[in-house]
Amino acid sequence: MNLIKTKTEIEKYVSEKRKQKFSIGFVPTMGALHEGHASLIEYALKHHDYVIVSIFVNPTQFNNSSDLEKYPRTLDQDTSFLSTYGKSVSIYAPTPQEVYGNQVVSKQYNFKGIEHVMEGTHRPGHFDGVGTVLNHLFRQVNPDEAFFGEKDFQQLLIVKKLVEIEKLPLKITGCPIHRQKNGLAMSSRNARLTPQQLEEATFIYKILKQVKEDFETKSAKTLRAWVTTQFKNNPHLTLEYFEISNSTHLRPLSRKRTHQKYRAFIAAFAGEIRLIDNMAIN
Ligand code: AMP
C-alpha cells in the first residue's frame, strides 16, 4: 500500500495509472478509519482498478477550535487498517500547505439553500470549508468517481452541487450508513466516547427507527414534539436539532406530499462529543 504525502506525488501517481487506462475511485476521509470508511472503500474497489483514500483533517470545516484540536489523528493505525487491501488502495495524507498552498482559507459557495439548514445553521462556515477542500482534493486526485457516506447526507448533497458549480469531471456516489450491530452509526468521533456513552448513544438510532415507524400515521409536528420530549427525558444526550426534510433539497417538511422522499435527521451531544445520524423514513 502506497502512502503519498505531496500534491506532486499524487498527481504523478494518478497520471501514470491513467496512461495505463486504469480507472480511479476516491474516498475522501478525515482518518481514524473504521468499518464505515471500509464499506466505502470496498464499494469503490468494486467499480475501479485503483482507489485513493485521502486522510486529511481539514481545518477550514471546523467552526470549533477544540473540536479540531481533539479530532482523532491516527495515521499509523489507519495505514495498517488499509494494508490488507494491498497495492490497489493508496493513502493520500497531505499537509494543509500541500492542499491549500500558503492560504488555508475557504472559498464562499452558494449551494442553493442546502447549506442553510441543519449542519449549516449549527456549524457556520462548515460547508464552505468542505466545498473548498474537496475542490482542491478533486483537482489534485482527479478521480473518475468519488464515494461519500449517507451518514453525512447533507454533505453528500453539497458535494453533488459543488461538482456542478466547479464543473468537475467526476461522478459522486452515495453509500449507505454502516452501523454497529446495536444500530449506532459508525463514526470517528465514537472513539472519544466512553463505553457507557457508546451504549447510551444507540438512543439516537432507536429514536430514528421509531420516527420511521410512525411517519405514515403522525404529522411532522407531532413527531418533532415527541422527539424533543424523548431527549429532554434522557439525561445522557442533548439534542441539538431534529428535522424531517425532503431528501432532494432538505427543506423541512411542512405538508407530506405523495411521491416525495423524506429523511429524519438528528444531531446530539454525548457530553462534549457531537454525533449526527439520519434515516430514510418512507
Ligand atoms: P469522515 O472521515 O468522518 O469525514 O468521513 C469520510 C467519509 O466516510 C464521508 O463520506 C462519510 O459520510 C463516510 N462515513 C463516515 N462514517 C460512515 C458510516 N458509518 N457509514 C457510511 N459512511 C460513513
Nearest CA to ligand 1 atom 17: 36
Helices (H), the chain: 7-19, 35-47, 65-70, 75-83, 96-100, 119-122, 126-141, 153-165, 195-200, 202-214, 220-232
State the DSSP code for 179.
B
The CATH T-level fold of domain 188-280 is Pantoate--beta-alanine Ligase; Chain: A,domain 2 (3.30.1300)
Residue among 148, 202, 205 whose CB has most ligand 1 atoms within 8 A, to mutate: 148
Ligand 1 closest atom vs CA 185: 19
Interval 11-58: pLDDT, tens: 999 999 999 999 999 999 999 999 999 999 999 999 999 999 999 999
CATH of domain 2-175: 3.40.50.620
Q: What is the mean pLDDT of residues 107-126?
A: 97
Q: In what order do the strands lie in the sheet with 24-29?
A: 2-4, 89-92, 50-55, 24-29, 145-149, 171-175
To test the pocket of ligand 1, the residue of 145, 152, 274 to mutate (highest count of ligand atoms within 8 Å of its CB) is 152
DSSP of 198-246: HHHTHHHHHHHHHHHHHTTTS-HHHHHHHHHHHHHT-SSEEEEEEEEEE
Domain with CATH 3.40.50.620 in the chain: 2-175
Q: What is the pTM of this model?
A: 0.97
Longest dimension (CA), the chain: 60
Q: Tell me which residues are annotated as active site.
A: 37
Say if ligand 1 is within 6 A of residue 157 CB: no
When pLDDT is cut at 50, 70 and 90, the band that residue 229 belongs to is very high
Query: Looking at the chain, how many residues does it have?
Result: 282
In this prediction, residue 175 has a pLDDT band, given cuts at 50, 70 and 90, of very high
Is residue 59's pLDDT more than 90?
A: yes
Where in the chain is CATH 3.30.1300.10? Answer: 188-280
Residue 151 C-alpha to ligand 1 middle, in angstroms?
6
DSSP designation for 270 = E
